[in-house]
Amino acid sequence: MRLRIQQINVPLAYTDADVLFHARRMIGCDAAALSEPVVVRRSVDARARKAEPLHVLTVEITLSLPALPRNAHRPSIEILGAPEPEIPPLRIEWPAATPRPVVVGAGPAGLMAAYRLAMAGARPLLIDRGEPASARTSKVAQFWNRGLLDPESNVLYGEGGAGLFSDGKLTARSKDRGPIRDFMELLHSCGAEASVRIDAEPHVGSDRLLEIVARLRERIVAAGGEVRFQARLDDLHIENGQLRGLVVNGVEMACAHCVLAAGHSARDVHALLARRGVTLQPKPFAVGVRLEIPQAAIDRAQHGRFAGNPLLGAASFRLTRREENGARSCYSFCMCPGGTVICCASEPGRLTTNGMSYSKRALAKGNAAFLVPVGPADYPEHPLPALAGVEFQRALERAAFAAAGGEYRVPAVRLLDFLARTISPALPNDLSCPRAAPVEFRSILPEFATFTLERSLPPMLKELNGVKLEDAVLYAPETRSSSPLWVVRNDEGESTSTRGLYPAGEGAGYAGGIVSSAIDGMRAAAHVARQIAGGKDSGPAA
Ligand SMILES: Cc1cc2nc3c(=O)[nH]c(=O)nc-3n(C[C@H](O)[C@H](O)[C@H](O)COP(=O)(O)OP(=O)(O)OC[C@H]3O[C@@H](n4cnc5c(N)ncnc54)[C@H](O)[C@@H]3O)c2cc1C
């Protein structure tokens, strides 16, 4: 019989023999009755009351006894049923008369949609307005070092999408374990550490992602797909609610099936959708700041006397605070341990903050966004209501660019100066973001956000025992944590207004983060396949 055993505690540097030893003890049988254990999940327990930090494992193992020993009947040991049937690989007989499917955007959603369609035999075309990861890296270096923005190939646009210069956290809240497992396996086969398949909080880092996305692209091409960079979707040709074509770099191509995965920074795409009558709906989002503190202090707060143990790595945190006395709720988001705060922009004269790290997470500071929810009552109406939130984000980003003196310097303030409502006379010289410039944040952020942050940040940081307010520096504005709108779709993943258009990923409003966007892209590919298999193909463009 196949068993799943949870809560196996082993040293951080455990061996297979340790796992087998504990499994045997928990079941109460000879080692000979057990197969090799397979670790399916792994988390860390570094609570101070433990003698040493531990890995807590969930393991699957086969027991060759007719029944489970009596002592083994406990909640942490589960008898597994028949293994889940494998999901058969998608196969599509793409009709010869139908233009091949087009995927717009080579971020996590678009890459995975194109990969799935290519593996299914649909020979998709994947287009992205930006450059391949390697060329993009030089553009990003120019931007960070000299403030030179390429609006088409930058931190947010190009191969790998917004996730390329990121922490590469692969956390997923979804319960959709099958597709998540498939995605992690694929990442591993493209160069990610094997641990991404089992860790509760997997992480790859920006340096590794650069290699991984390039390999993923090679797989798409090897399976019959085509990838074009510096290819921007400019317009949609829609007739009677049916997608007929795409205008790419000013040239129209026939297209009846398009997975639109342009991300939520592509504001020109959202404007284009609104113009063409594609149904959009405003969505709540959040704005705030990025806070940076010494990583050693975070490690001490989280790992106590185990701080600094190289096997534990850099610690992270998640903090939340409920609304109280006129202050809104506030939460930390996208924590980057041992990382750096970065400047992001995709439109001239506007900037936003974010965080990234490398695979070792070894830099001296950790950072996280601290966000305050925003709703339609917070910003002026717009002739196209779904775009009102976008304009609100833009206004903050424009104000930030101007307040820091242009040239894409990043507004920053010491936390204590922020609380005193003043500009910092000088910023620490060891900030992770060297292009920071002292700014008073009330010239950038709306009053409800600064009011909430003033009241929330000190008590939230207090939860990180030993972290000093005087060591904290804030950067702003954090505006692009999630999409401000939905590109509304039905249960078949198709736009409710436009047949043949499959909005996917973060820009569609239905996903957030690398993993959920990737899974959403996989689903979009499956929807296209089902549509073709169901014979509802809309035929060639007129
Ligand atoms: C700095 C940073 C750090 C982050 N860190 C993490 C993290 O650690 N973990 C995590 O889970 N998430 C992280 N995120 C969020 C994550 O990156 C996004 O949720 C994810 O990338 C969204 O994927 P997507 O494919 O939907 O869109 P995107 O990644 O935004 O990709 C969209 C792609 O579409 C292309 N495009 C846009 N317009 C057009 C057009 N008109 N024509 C052709 N192509 C177009 C763009 O060039 C881009 O490549 C981070 C984001 C940023 C910015």
Query: What letter does residue 233 receive in the DSSP assignment?
Result: E
pLDDT value at residue 229: 98
Q: How far apart are CA 503 and CA 279, in angstroms?
A: 11
Residue 493 located in a structural domain: yes
Does residue 525 share a domain with residue 467?
no
Which of 334, 344, 480, 489 to probe ligand 1 with, by most ligand atoms within 8 A of CB?
334
pLDDT value at residue 85: 57
pLDDT value at residue 536: 55
Residue 121 located in a structural domain: yes
CB crowding 186-215: b at 16 or more within 10 Å, else e: bbbebbbeeebbbbeebbbbbebbbebbbe
Does residue 474 share a domain with residue 434?
yes
Which of 111, 115, 129 to probe ligand 1 with, by most ligand atoms within 8 A of CB?
129
Which of 180, 351, 517 to probe ligand 1 with, by most ligand atoms within 8 A of CB?
517
**Which CATH number characterizes residue 231's domain?**
3.50.50.60
Atom of ligand 1 lying closest to residue 108 CA: 25
Between helix 388-403 and helix 267-275 the angle, nearest 10°, is 150
Residue ranges, the chain, pLDDT below 50? 537-542
How many folded domains does the chain comprise? 3
pLDDT value at residue 166: 86
Strand ranges inside 154-279, DSSP E: 226-228, 233-239, 242-248, 251-254, 258-260
Does residue 255 share a domain with residue 134?
yes
Is 102 in contact with 257 (CB distance < 8 Å)?
Answer: yes
Does residue 302 share a domain with residue 153?
no
Q: Which residues contact 443 (CB under 8 A, 6 or more apart)?
A: 399, 403
Quote the ligand 1 centre to 516 CA distance (angstroms): 12
pTM here is: 0.92
Residue whose Cα lies nearest atom 11 of ligand 1: it is 513
Does residue 271 share a domain with residue 299?
no
pLDDT value at residue 50: 77
Atom of ligand 1 lying closest to residue 153 CA: 47
**Residues within a 6 A CB radius of ligand 1:** 104-110, 127-130, 156-158, 161-163, 165-169, 232-233, 261-263, 265-266, 269, 334, 342, 344, 354, 356, 505-507, 512-515, 517
Does residue 302 share a domain with residue 277?
no
Does residue 468 share a domain with residue 518?
no
End position of a domain, from candidates 478, 493, 511: 478
Does residue 141 share a domain with residue 275?
yes
Taken as a whole, the chain contains a residue count of: 542
Is 321 in contact with 454 (CB distance < 8 Å)?
Answer: no
pLDDT value at residue 538: 43
Residue 362 located in a structural domain: yes
Does residue 496 share a domain with residue 436?
no
- The boundaries of the domain holding residue 181 are 102-282+485-533
Residue 386 located in a structural domain: yes
pLDDT tens sequence across 432-448:
999 999 999 999 999 99
pLDDT tens sequence across 453-501:
999 999 999 999 999 999 999 999 999 999 999 999 999 999 999 999 9
| Ramachandran region, residue 123 (left: φ > 0; alpha: ψ -120 to 50; beta: rest) | left
Q: Measuring CA to CA, how many Å separate 81 from each of 3, 39, 62, 388, 401?
A: 9, 18, 12, 51, 58
pLDDT value at residue 3: 92
pLDDT value at residue 89: 67
| Ramachandran region, residue 433 (left: φ > 0; alpha: ψ -120 to 50; beta: rest) | beta
Which of 361, 489, 514, 523 to probe ligand 1 with, by most ligand atoms within 8 A of CB?
514
Quote the ligand 1 centre to 151 CA distance (angstroms): 15
Does residue 180 share a domain with residue 36?
no
Quote the ligand 1 centre to 157 CA distance (angstroms): 7
Quote the ligand 1 centre to 282 CA distance (angstroms): 20
DSSP string spanning 372-424?
Answer: EEE-GGGS---SSGGGHHHHHHHHHHHHHHHHTTSTTPEEEEEHHHHHTTS--
Atom of ligand 1 lying closest to residue 264 CA: 30
**Which CATH number characterizes residue 74's domain?**
3.30.70.2700
Residue whose Cα lies nearest atom 2 of ligand 1: it is 166
Q: How far apart are CA 519 and CA 223, in angstroms?
A: 20
pLDDT value at residue 171: 86
Q: Measuring CA to CA, how many Å separate 456 from each of 41, 217, 368?
A: 34, 43, 14
Task: Sort strands 102-104 and 125-127 into parallel, antiparallel or unpaired.
Answer: parallel
Q: How far apart are CA 276 and CA 500, in angstroms?
A: 14
